[in-house]
Amino acid sequence: MNRAILVSLSLSAREKAEAEDSLDELAGLARAVGAEVVHRVRQSRFRPSPRTFIGQGKVRELALMAVELRADAVVFDHNLTPVQQRSLEDSLPLKVIDRTQLILDIFARRAASREGKLQVELARLMYQLPRLTGKGKALSQPGAGIRTRGPGEKKLEEDRRRIQDRITRIKRQIHSLGLRRSGQRMSRKRSPMPVVSLVGYTSAGKSTLFNALSREHAFTSPMLFATLDPVLRRVAFSDGLYFLLSDTVGFIRKLPVELITSFRATLEEIRESDCICHVIDLAAARSGEQAEAVEKVLAEIGAGNIPLVRVFNKIDLLPGRDELLTLQERKTVAGRVYVSARTGEGVADLKKLLRGILFQDRRLFHLRLPLERSALLPELAERGVLLKAAENTGHLELTLMARPDAVRDLLPDYAEGEPPC
């Protein structure tokens, strides 16, 4: 695909009002695979055509436009049925691509890990399976006998069986990798280290914020879906407390169901978090709708009840940012914070807010134990964050951050502790 025409169909007044923004997003997706957008086509109808999605007149208009603009592809801002896609390909001198196919192509280019590549392949095969009949132009007609099949039909059945077998094998491999990931999550749950997941609409600045918090250098790029595989880093506070920070795949409107299904194991990383930071691009024209799309998916994957911090990013790009910052303290208490991940402004406020959320049920224990009880040290370190350990006059002096119940059965005399500062 080199030169693409974009097509949008509005079925309601609301869709018509949002069509331009949705086409802007589709144009970004097309550019992500190296295509040049040469024209945009919009149509309003009460319902899509079962055969060609858009009206026959608009199909003829597209055919003439394709020749005039030297376009080689038409991209629909919708998901087409196999029948619609096949009919459009019969009527147009163009490659016909729908939104799901385009997103799957981008994911295939971005996947880096073995699990990520398998998840994308699974999604693509699930998308292709019901569309095998799209090759019908090459199929021979069945013979006269009731049980007779032509070579085209046999080839179709073989292709379908081969894809189904491959889907089964990939699901087994993903399940195996998921069990390993689940074991890693269980290990983290047994450890005292809380986990924070960064989520957000694609290109909201998650990876830039990830770098600002962790002072590491994860891959950052204006490309859509630059991060597909979860990345974990340890983030420390000045007093020695710390948490694990996870950067995850970006969300998007109309995220294909095949991808949600295939990436469920990866999305479970979010579901198992102690806190979610939802990064919102304040500079985006439809930031509110993008935020709704993200939180809708969070609810769908069972992460709706996890403590959520809304991180409004890119304040450096806003003309009225000073007025925003005067509200910073009150907004932070309300579970939202304004930052510029690029300049670092507001990141310290975010860390302060996260510290209060992650360690609100922890207590600070100052322990003085006889040396003969030093065998408890490894277990205490597993049950909390060991901030200090020193030997002094025949005793171990420890400073431990932990939940009271984690300490109670080992050291009943120290069951209460004190709130962290």
Whether 185 is in a domain gets the answer no
Model confidence at 142: pLDDT above 50: no
pLDDT at 146: 37
Model confidence at 318: pLDDT above 90: no
Does 262 share its domain with 221?
yes
pLDDT bin (cut points 50, 70, 90) of residue 404 is: confident
- Higher per-residue pLDDT: 284 or 185: 284
Model confidence at 73: pLDDT above 90: yes
Ranges 94-98, 230-234, 323-327, 328-332: which has the least confidence: 328-332
pLDDT at 133: 64
CATH number of the domain to which 265 belongs? 3.40.50.300
pLDDT at 216: 55
Of all residues in the chain, what percent carry a pLDDT higher than 90? 28
pLDDT at 50: 94
Does 117 share its domain with 208?
no
Please name the residue ranges forming H helices in 33-113: 56-69, 82-91, 99-110
* Phi (first) and psi of residue 211, to 5 degrees: -65, -40
Does 370 share its domain with 350?
no
pLDDT at 91: 92
* Phi (first) and psi of residue 416, to 5 degrees: -95, -55
pLDDT at 63: 93
Whether 419 is in a domain gets the answer no
Does 351 share its domain with 251?
yes
Instruction: Count structural domains, the chain.
Output: 4
pLDDT at 266: 61
pLDDT at 186: 60
Does 297 share its domain with 159?
no
Model confidence at 138: pLDDT above 50: no
Maximum average pLDDT range among 101-105, 109-113, 266-270: 101-105
Model confidence at 101: pLDDT above 50: yes
pLDDT at 222: 43
Kindly compute the dihedral angle of the four CA atoms of residues 395, 397, 402, 405, in this order, to the nearest 10 degrees: 30
pLDDT at 68: 93
pLDDT at 241: 79
Does 350 share its domain with 235?
yes
Does 133 share its domain with 73?
no
DSSP run (H or E) holding 398: strand 395-402
pLDDT at 189: 55
Whether 187 is in a domain gets the answer no
Does 281 share its domain with 409?
no
The pLDDT mean for the chain works out to 80
User: What's the pLDDT tens digit per position in 28-54?
Assistant: 889 988 999 999 999 998 899 999 999
Does 277 share its domain with 341?
yes
pLDDT bin (cut points 50, 70, 90) of residue 162 is: very high
Does 160 share its domain with 245?
no
User: Whats the size of the chain, residue-wise?
Assistant: 421
- Report the distance separating Cα 165 and Cα 178, nearest Å: 20
Does residue 311 sit in helix, strand or coil?
Answer: strand
CATH number of the domain to which 92 belongs? 3.40.50.11060
Whether 343 is in a domain gets the answer yes
User: What's the pLDDT tens digit per position in 285-302?
Assistant: 778 888 988 888 888 888
pLDDT bin (cut points 50, 70, 90) of residue 246 is: confident
- Higher per-residue pLDDT: 154 or 337: 337
Of all residues in the chain, what percent carry a pLDDT higher than 70? 80
In Å, what is the CA distance from 131 to each residue of 6, 53, 128?
21, 16, 5
The three-point CA angle 46-82-72 to 5° equals 90
- Report the distance separating Cα 228 and Cα 111, nearest Å: 6
- Report the distance separating Cα 136 and Cα 133, nearest Å: 5
Whether 186 is in a domain gets the answer no
Six-digit token pair at 24? 């802007």
Does 226 share its domain with 372?
no
Whether 401 is in a domain gets the answer yes
pLDDT at 89: 92
Buried/exposed code over 389-398 (b: 16+ C-beta within 10 A; e: otherwise): eeeeeeebeb
Whether 181 is in a domain gets the answer no
Mean pLDDT of 100-105: 90
Does 96 share its domain with 122?
no
Whether 334 is in a domain gets the answer yes
Please name the residue ranges forming H helices in 281-403: 287-300, 321-326, 328-333, 347-358, 377-383
Domain hosting residue 160, numbered range: 111-141+149-176
Mean pLDDT of 61-87: 93
- Phi/psi region, residue 411 (left: phi>0; alpha: psi -120 to 50; beta: rest), is beta
